[in-house]
């Protein structure tokens, strides 16, 4: 048995949520006490009573971009799909993840369909990276009718955000309807406080919040701080190595401003808890502290921090998080925060009590 096998569990398929609840804050919330091992059952709407007035709630304000693209090879008409990963600001070249049958050669183009299935923008193949990703340049549609009904045509100098908002689709994980989006996902797979575009997956613990709930939390005296972590595709990559130390962690870009760092530090010094919403918020906070000798100050960088036992948390005092995939880095992170044994016990009770799992599912608050 390899080390990662200790982070496995059996999940009935029907426990994987395919749609969010009509009211986000109606999701169930398991309260896990690290000190006593006690497990309680609540709802996300109970958060104002579970948080303390001196606490700071830390939210990841990254905005999901419609990074999934569907279309066809212009020359052969063969079907194609890919996922936007990043844009080079200087050259305008995009890096795209794709599994295409047959080799695409430089100069060849791919026609991207809009959300109604109509031909739209094109991608011109430039090269392949050493990891097998495709490098492409966005091009306007060959047929100007692709802009029909839209007042603004896009030029080749348009940003990736502009192109994808027009022709991209919500990049749902494969366990939700096999990755096929419906119109409602445009708003459902986005937090209400999303601000900074850049994620290809939602910071899902934040999906449970509504403006009303955030207002009630503020009325109770709990302050809210924002961080940014652009969630990358690697968040879904399973651990395949025999030991955790051998796993090569993916890199993601993160930021915390001086104002938000100061707020967290000051309120912790006064006895409040830093309550991270989501493992993405944890990565920003702990990555910043790791680079700053345990202190928390303004920080902007990329991080490949893999939080695993026996990691000692420097900033995060409590964690709100969804239920994660077996053998995943996120399950390992949560286990580092609350011990593997307690987390697996909590997961077993969640299955027994018919909690909903993964991105559109329920959550737990670990204190």
pLDDT at 217 over 70: yes
Distances (CA, A) of 223 to 18, 31, 134, 254: 32, 20, 43, 21
Q: Assess contact for 124 and 137: CB atoms under 8 A.
A: yes
Q: State the Cα–Cα distance between residues 273 and 335, nearest whole angstrom.
A: 19
Q: Is residue 44 part of a domain?
A: yes
Long-range contacts, 11-17 (Cβ 8 Å, 24+): 11/326, 11/351, 11/357, 12/351, 15/351, 15/354, 15/355, 15/356, 15/357, 15/361, 16/175, 16/176, 16/356, 16/357, 16/358, 16/361, 17/176, 17/356, 17/357, 17/358, 17/359, 17/360, 17/361, 17/362
Query: What's this model's pTM, rounded to 2 decimal places?
Result: 0.92
Count of C-beta atoms within a 10 Å radius of residue 270: 8
Report pLDDT for 266.
98
Label residue 238 by pLDDT band (50, 70, 90): confident
C-beta separation of 63 from 199 below 8 A: yes
Average pLDDT estimate for 62-89: 93
Tell me the C-alpha distance between 264 and 39, whole Å.
Answer: 27
What confidence score (pLDDT) does residue 150 get?
55
Q: What is the mean pLDDT of residues 149-165?
A: 74
Distance from C-alpha of 109 to C-alpha of 112, rounded to nearest angstrom: 10
The predicted structure's pLDDT at residue 146: 54
Partners of residue 87 on adjacent β-strands = 94
Check residue 315 and report its DSSP letter: S
Per-residue pLDDT, averaged over 169-186, amounts to 91
The three-class DSSP label of residue 257 is coil
**134 and 195 share one domain:** no
Residue 181: pLDDT band with limits 50, 70, 90:
confident
Q: How confident is the model at residue 144 (pLDDT cuts 50, 70, 90)?
A: low
Assigned domain for 22 exists = yes
Q: What mean pLDDT comes out for the span 162-172?
A: 92
220 with 280, same domain: the answer is: yes
Among 138, 169, 200, the domain-final residue is 169
Q: What is the mean pLDDT of residues 177-197?
A: 94
The total of structural domains in the chain comes to: 2
What is the model's pLDDT at position 86?
87
Q: Where are the alpha helices (DSSP H) in the chain?
A: 47-50, 160-167, 185-188, 211-219, 258-269, 279-291, 329-338, 340-352
Q: If you average pLDDT over residues 280-309, what whole number do you get?
A: 95
Residue 151 has pLDDT above 50, yes or no: no
Regarding whether 228 and 347 lie in a shared domain, the answer is: yes
- In a shared domain, residues 307 and 235: yes
**181 lies in some domain:** no
To the nearest whole number, what is the mean pLDDT of the chain?
93
- Give yes or no: residues 298 and 200 share one domain: yes
- Residue 159, H or E segment: none
Domain boundary among 169, 203, 229: 169
For residue 136, what are its two tokens? 């492409």
Residue 138 pLDDT exceeds 70: yes
Cβ of 83: how many Cβ atoms within 10 Å? 19
For residue 149, pLDDT beyond 70: no
| Total number of residues shown for the chain | 367
Instruction: Name the token pair of 243.
Output: 């030991």
- pLDDT greater than 60 at residue 141: yes
Distance of CA 104 to the CA centre of its chain: 30
Higher pLDDT, 221 or 105: 221
Could you tell me if 151 and 286 lie in one domain?
no
Indicate whether 174 belongs to any domain.
Answer: no
Query: Residue 22 in 3-state DSSP?
Result: coil
Sign of the CA dihedral with 328 first, then 331, 333, and 339 last:
negative
Q: Reply yes or no on whether the pLDDT at 233 is more than 80.
A: no
Name the domain boundary from 169, 196, 228. 169
Burial of 122 (0-12, 13-18, 19+ CB in 10 A): buried
- Percent pLDDT > 90 in the chain is 79
Question: Which pLDDT value is given to residue 143?
Answer: 67
Check pLDDT > 60 for residue 152: no
What's the confidence (pLDDT) of residue 79? 93
What is the span of the domain harbouring residue 107?
Answer: 68-169
Separation CA 61–CA 226 (nearest Å): 6
Quote the CA–CA distance of 339 and 343 in Å, as a whole number.
6
Average pLDDT over residues 207-227: 98
Residue 180 lies in a domain: no
Other C-beta atoms closer than 10 Å to the C-beta of 266 total 12
Whether residue 321 contacts residue 280, with contact meaning beta carbons closer than 8 Å, is answered with no
Q: Is residue 177 part of a domain?
A: no
pLDDT at 147: 53
Average pLDDT for 207-222: 98
Q: What is the pLDDT of residues 318-336, one digit of tens each?
A: 999 999 999 999 999 999 9
The more confident residue out of 100 and 33 is: 33
Give the mean model confidence (pLDDT) for residues 238-253: 90
Structure tokens at 63: 């905005």
Specify the pLDDT at position 284: 97
CATH (domain of 118):
2.40.10.240
Q: Is the pLDDT reported for residue 242 higher than 90? A: no
Contacts 24+ apart (CB under 8 A), 44-50: 44/208, 44/209, 44/213, 44/363, 45/213, 47/213, 47/216, 47/217, 47/365, 48/213, 48/216, 48/217, 48/219, 48/220, 48/222, 50/365
């Amino acid at each position: 048995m390899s080390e990662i096998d200790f982070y496995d569990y059996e999940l009935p398929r029907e426990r994987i949520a395919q749609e969010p609840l009509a009211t986000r804050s109606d999701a169930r919330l398991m309260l896990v006490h690290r000190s006593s091992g006690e497990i309680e059952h609540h709802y996300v709407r109970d958060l104002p009573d579970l948080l303390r007035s001196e606490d700071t709630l830390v939210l990841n304000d990254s905005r999901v971009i419609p990074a999934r693209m569907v279309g066809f090879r212009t020359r052969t008409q063969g079907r194609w799909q890919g996922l936007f990963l990043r844009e080079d600001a200087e050259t305008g070249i995009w890096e795209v993840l794709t599994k295409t049958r047959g080799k695409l050669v430089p100069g060849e183009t791919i026609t991207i369909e809009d959300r109604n299935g109509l031909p739209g923008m094109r991608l011109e193949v430039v090269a392949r990276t050493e990891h097998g990703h495709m490098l492409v340049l966005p091009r306007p549609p060959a047929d100007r009718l692709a802009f029909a009904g839209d007042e603004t045509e896009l030029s080749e100098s348009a940003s990736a955000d502009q192109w994808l908002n027009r022709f991209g689709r919500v990049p749902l994980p494969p366990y939700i309807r096999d990755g096929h989006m419906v119109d409602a996902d445009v708003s459902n797979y986005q937090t209400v406080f999303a601000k900074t575009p850049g994620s290809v997956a939602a910071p899902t613990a934040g999906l449970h919040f509504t403006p009303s709930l955030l207002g009630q939390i503020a009325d109770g005296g709990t302050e809210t701080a924002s961080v940014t972590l652009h969630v990358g595709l690697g968040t879904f990559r399973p651990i395949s190595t025999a030991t955790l130390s051998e796993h090569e962690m993916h890199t993601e870009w993160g930021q915390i401003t001086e104002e938000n760092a100061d707020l967290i530090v000051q309120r912790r010094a006064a006895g409040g808890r830093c309550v991270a919403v989501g493992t993405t918020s944890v990565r920003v906070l702990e990555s910043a502290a790791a680079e700053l000798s345990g202190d928390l100050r303004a920080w902007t960088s990329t991080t490949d921090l893999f939080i695993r036992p026996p990691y000692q948390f420097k900033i995060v005092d409590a964690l709100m998080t969804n239920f994660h995939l077996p053998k995943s880095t996120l399950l390992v992170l949560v286990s580092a925060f609350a011990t593997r044994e307690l987390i697996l016990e909590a997961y077993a009770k969640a299955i027994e009590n018919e909690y909903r799992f993964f991105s559109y599912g329920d959550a737990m608050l670990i204190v």
